[in-house]
Amino acid sequence: MIPIFKGALLGGFIAGILNLILALGAQAAGAALEGALAGPGTPIVGIPAPMFVVASVIPGLGAAALYAGLRRLTEKADSAFVAIALVFGLLSMGGPAMLEGASLSTKVILGLMHVVAGVAIPLGIFRATRR
């Protein structure tokens, strides 16, 4: 089970670094990555850089726990995990899309970041468990 969590952390960290690079590139291109981070009706603030890394690593731990549980329950854990990850990935797009006070460019960049994490985390898990 430990390789699953190591893979998830590695995938999440790689996603975090890629997302940080994406954020810095977007900001260099003039996008203001900001929104009402504390919820509707709260002040619009810039998204702090560490959040891009942390928000990529933390979901990896949940994904690792899910995959570890699926491996104990079924022989088709890989297929079930991919299906659940795809559904969760699609549902997670609602977060950026509904971020109050965020510009369209911010919403698109955050959506891309979700895709990066949604690919890197499962790949990290699968790579770690195939060795």
- What's the pLDDT tens digit per position in 88-126? 999 999 999 999 999 999 999 999 999 999 999 999 999
Q: Mention every residue, 6+ apart, whose C-beta is less than 8 A from residue 4.
A: 64, 67, 68, 71, 125, 128, 129
Q: What is the pTM of this model?
A: 0.91
Q: Is the pLDDT of residue 13 over 80?
A: yes
Q: Please, are residues 104 and 122 in contact by the beta-carbon 8 Å criterion? A: no
- What's the pLDDT tens digit per position in 21-45? 999 999 999 999 999 998 888 999 9
DSSP string, 56-101: HHHHHHHHHHHHHHHHHH-TTHHHHHHHHHHHHHHHHTHHHHT-TT
Q: Which of 119, 43, 123, 56 is nearest to 86 (CA)?
A: 119
The reported pLDDT for the residue numbered 39 is 86
- What's the pLDDT tens digit per position in 51-83? 999 999 999 999 999 999 999 999 999 999 999
Question: If you ran DSSP here, which 8-state letter would residue 43 be given?
Answer: P
Amino acid, res. 9: L
Q: Report d(CA 14, CA 52) in Å as an integer.
A: 11
